[in-house]
A and B are shown apart, each in its own frame.
Chain A
């Protein structure tokens, strides 16, 4: 299944929304910069920068990639660590 709209139609519809969202991000970073104190070592800021990098790379799964950046790691032997039996 695909989106019924063409790429130019999507851009026409969403250009101002995208512009506004980028502007909000820019203003948030300005606010952080203006405020007193230091957050340079805060791991959340690293995640934000990592996510921003994803946006610049051509791909059709950028939303998924950004979600994974902000997600805890999944460990597939968690049941052993919890001492929980698997299988019925």
Chain B
């Protein structure tokens, strides 16, 4: 089955991983900007990173028939440095017209601090100003519930935000309902220990239905599995779910959500071209 991984950090993965993903049926992916494992020291570090996301990774993926899309921001961990964050936010528009850019992300909260919230709101302003879609990281473990509720407060406070163009990621059993009830898209991240398993993601599909729900691997430099979406497909099949339902979640839903972005010029495996708002 063809699928799209809507959240995976390929800068941290090897070229062999691209080959494996292609063999497993991955035809497209989106890569949000994230934390490199250390705090970067200058805006030029981010400029180089954004060049990697918009140029090098796109070409590396294309060698294996995978279409690569990306999101730009300074992540929540580094948002504690407010002055650097503001420099990065001011620089992001240099890249918004690159052909694979879908929007602003993954912005969000990490430890739910005032500085993180301040920079989150300033990212929202940037997205609104440039009519960009938004991809949001929610915190891990004990911080997740509180942080997700705070993020929803900030989003819902702003009437200029089109909720159908916002994806709130890393939802779990205690946050998914809040996100869907407010009209946003929700992403389930299949990630060992700190997030969700394929089995629990299937449970949430069964409990809430497939509308506005996405499944991703968030494969990165930490313990993670870039082929986690095929694990989800396998679990859905083992339970007896239909191929059409599985395809909706892992392929049609990402296409529907991303198609709201001007940067999503996607060639489907059957060669029909899906462009923004088509």
> Which chain A residues have a beta carbon within 8 Å of chain B's beta carbons?
1-5, 13, 61, 63-64, 67-68, 70-76, 78-79, 82-84, 86-88
Complex contact B145–A88 (CB within 8 A): no
Complex contact B141–A70 (CB within 8 A): yes
For residue B124, give the distance in angstroms from its CB to the closest CB of chain A: 9
Complex contact B159–A67 (CB within 8 A): no
* Cα distance, A1 to B249, chains bound together (Å): 14
Given A2-B206, A4-B241, A67-B173, check contact A88 B157 (CB 8 Å): yes
* Cα distance, A4 to B154, chains bound together (Å): 38
Complex contact A87–B205 (CB within 8 A): no
Residues of A within 8 A of B145 (CB): 67-68, 71-72, 74
Apart from A1-B210, A73-B146, 5 more pairs, CB < 8 Å: A4-B240, A67-B145, A68-B145, A86-B153, A86-B154
Residues of A within 8 A of B117 (CB): 82, 84
For residue B9, give the distance in angstroms from its CB to the closest CB of chain A: 25
**Prevailing SS type, chain A contact patch:** loop
Complex contact A88–B142 (CB within 8 A): no
Given A63-B173, A63-B203, check contact A74 B141 (CB 8 Å): no
Q: Does B78 contact A (CB under 8 A)?
A: no
Q: Which of B53-108 contact A (CB under 8 A)?
A: none
For residue B107, give the distance in angstroms from its CB to the closest CB of chain A: 16
Q: State how many residues of chain B have any CB contact under 8 Å with chain A.
A: 34
| Shortest Cβ distance from B160 into A: residue | A88
| Shortest Cβ distance from B202 into A: residue | A3
8 contacting pairs across A/B (C-beta < 8 A): A1-B208, A1-B210, A4-B239, A67-B172, A68-B145, A72-B145, A75-B146, A84-B114
Q: Mark B115-150, 1 if CB is under 8 A from A, else 0.
A: 001100100000000000000000001111110011
The one of A2, A13, A67, A71 that contacts B146, using a Cβ cutoff of 8 Å: A71
Given A63-B200, A63-B203, A74-B150, check contact A1 B209 (CB 8 Å): yes
* Cα distance, A27 to B155, chains bound together (Å): 44
* Cα distance, A78 to B152, chains bound together (Å): 12
For residue B156, give the distance in angstroms from its CB to the closest CB of chain A: 9
Complex contact B149–A74 (CB within 8 A): yes
Complex contact A72–B149 (CB within 8 A): no
Complex contact B174–A88 (CB within 8 A): no
For residue A61, give the distance in angstroms from its CB to the closest CB of chain B: 8
* Cα distance, A72 to B147, chains bound together (Å): 9
Given A4-B241, A64-B173, A88-B158, check contact A71 B203 (CB 8 Å): no
Q: Which 8 A-B pairs have the closest CB atoms?
A: A4-B240, A67-B174, A71-B145, A64-B173, A63-B173, A88-B158, A74-B149, A72-B146
* Cα distance, A4 to B206, chains bound together (Å): 9
Q: Which of B161-176 contact A (CB under 8 A)?
A: 172-174
Residues of A within 8 A of B239 (CB): 3-5
* Cα distance, A70 to B175, chains bound together (Å): 13
For residue A51, give the distance in angstroms from its CB to the closest CB of chain B: 13
Residues of A within 8 A of B203 (CB): 63
For residue B135, give the distance in angstroms from its CB to the closest CB of chain A: 20
* Cα distance, A87 to B154, chains bound together (Å): 8
Q: Mark B9-49, 1 if CB is under 8 A from A, else 0.
A: 00000000000000000000000000000000000000000
| Shortest Cβ distance from A88 into B: residue | B158
